[in-house]
Structure 1
Amino acid sequence: MQTINIGLFGFGTVGSGLAEALCSQHERILRRSGLSLKLTKIAARSLSSLPPQLAGVELVKDADALINDPSIHIFVELIGGIEPARTCILKAIAAGKHVVTANKALLSQHGKELFAAAAAKGVEVGFEGSVGGGIPLIKALKEGLAANKLLAVMGILNGTANYILTRMTEERLPFAEALREAQRLGFAEADPTYDVEGIDTAHKLAILMTIAYGMNISPQQIATEGISTIEPVDIEFAREFGCRIKLLAVSRDIGGAVEARVHPTMVPTAHLLASISGANNAVEFCGDLTGSIILSGAGAGRLPTGSAVAADVIDIARNIAAGAVGRVPALSYLPEQIVDRPIAPLSALSCPFYLRITALDKPGVLAKIAAILSGHGISIESVIQKGRRENEPVAVVILTHTAKEEAVAAALREIDSLDTVAAPTVRIRMLGEE
């Protein structure tokens, strides 16, 4: 029986989940792989001791104690952030160690450098835990869909935002209150910006797009909007229209270019993504051979993400034992086949729109708004105004037929400049451009 030694850098939520998975499932992993996966050292500066079940594991303060230990085969980085994670991973690769990480921010911004270094050294980098928590999204793209041309990737990739929108929908809570609840339960950080403004989702979409299309892309190239402007009134109108609002990551291969966007979206309740609630994630892949496939489940958490990291450790250990390191390229495509591709500007998007205009309740206001929309070639499907408060602002909701993003943006600049419009118009794209 071969033993594969593992060094773990970071013992927070995911690190402790990985340690539990490797310990509690040791016999099962042995039966499945014929390998003994042994967690030998953990580097964590803030800890003075480890739990009793890790009695045989050495606690060290510095990642160099793992990197410089020739007996460790796999270096697992679970501290998050850019530095010192990037430097430590590069040092581990240079030392000939295989690497496993769940660091989506690092991979989305510096993945090209890390994967190139690993390929040059002949070691593997596993990163299943970086997107979708316990859902095997990376493996599905890299291997399960390898024969397909990926036509689209779309999904809910941030559990915090989805939890907030779920609470706003089911309990009619305002955004701020739903956010406070998410923070109290540990779903949201003290500074929730990355989650609620779509930045975390953009990092994850960049990783998925690289694998799906064999392309170089950074999060900065992805048009990104968050959910902080969504109000209960928008949730209620969505309900009336038979929709739910979700923060979606959307990418489509449209031939000459690839779409890349993250934004709140009205999703028809008949669509499976509309039913994903709480902190769960779900992603729809569309292949030219398979059609649509949706994977869903726990998108974060100690044991689900720990399970994903453990799966990478097992895969790499199997490849070491079989002499098959590098059998599957890290990004599915051969490194020389990963190329730059044009990103379609958001202004070129065509889809139906939900517009909530805060306008004074005066005669002729709606006619002016309709004329502006018409002047930009935007056709109105329906208009709803609830309540009347003479000479006071009320919500006027307009659903458009399919319209160009560029035209809608220009029309809203004109509408919001009217002296009868009291606040910036809320615009939510509707799933329906396909």
Structure 2
Amino acid sequence: MLTEINFDGIIGPSHNYAGLSPGNLAATRSHGAVSRPRAAALQGISKMRANLRLGLVEGILLPHARPDHQWLASLHTRYEEASDHLRAQALSASAMWAANAATVSPAPDTADGRCHLTVANLATLPHRSHEWPETLAQLRIAFANDAFRVHAAVPPPFGDEGAANHMRLAGGHDRPGIEVFVFGVPGGAFPARQHREASEAIARGHGLDRARTFFAQQSPEAIEAGAFHNDVVAVANGLVLFAHEQAFADTASFYAGLRAALPEIEIVEVPASQVSLEDAIRSYLFNAQLVTLPGGDTALIVPEEARDTPSVWRWLQEHVAGNGPIRRVEVVDVRESMGNGGGPACLRLRVVADPRTVDPRFLVDEAKLDSIGEVIERYWPEAIKSDDLGDADLIRQIEEARSRLLTSLRIVELIDR
């Protein structure tokens, strides 16, 4: 039976605040702050545990090998000799944001009736551009069953940032859906990371029906305000599209097309007069998990920052009280991830599939989360300061921590990548 599985990225032991992401205002503000990798990873485990208790199906994606010695070797240097900036890029834990791992088209949408995944190239920023080979290796293990097709990345220079710029609307997870690819137009103060050409290539590779595939431009105002991915200003699930008024460049035409293709759609638009773009981005109101609970209700899983932002919390309470499509709001603590610019939705990649077709090592229950938590408690660094990145003992601890986790999960084929 097809169901939505949320694959959460386990926050890696090298999680730090190096400020490597222009346009990501939270990451820029946190530059140089002390990070807490152990607390960050445990916050992620707590979010997964909360999702399990809501009746959702959970999976995991694993921390990448850090520092990335292979990438540094391709630059003809070693970690010990590299500049501070290259060290930070080689040590980045940003693969924890699984929404950037790939773009996923479920089997009901594709020409061959298989679930297709295309790994994101993340070509725009150096610290993320070297993630895709290890992500591809993980996806090809987790989704080795013939029910899936896993594609390599679209080649640069066409930037692709994965599911963070992709939405799906459907009357049920097992029904054909509408797939929406959101792209940006270069030329502003911050980079537009998703290129239309990359989105179009993915749609072709997945064998999508052109009549049920939309390409929408993200508004330049949203990008300038710090919405470096579409999922910072819009999210969709089931028949519900939840978006800020200023999310898209041509809202009227886009919404009209969606309504013509899917008359049952419910578009929940938050007016700028009630929640400013600034408040929406600071609180990560839309970088939330919009999910269907087992009973059929739509719920929104938001970070604590949404509750801490008066305009956002007021809008949410009024919407739920007014019998809107979103019937329930759940609050989670992911402050360490938020400090680097990633909310609840950033931390997960949704895959609609039969769980029996997924490598069981990548699926979790409460007991497995307990086991993962024990490894994190024992081996993850408690804190990393900006001037710690040259500490050889810290690097050894980071490398050992990942190895211990993969060994405990019996996914040892990834250890030496």
Could you state the TM-score of these two structures normalised by the residue count of structure 1? Answer: 0.27
Higher relative contact order (CA 8 A, sep 6+): 2
User: Larger % of strand: which?
Assistant: 1
> Which protein shows a greater Rg?
1
Could you state the TM-score of these two structures normalised by the residue count of structure 2? Answer: 0.28
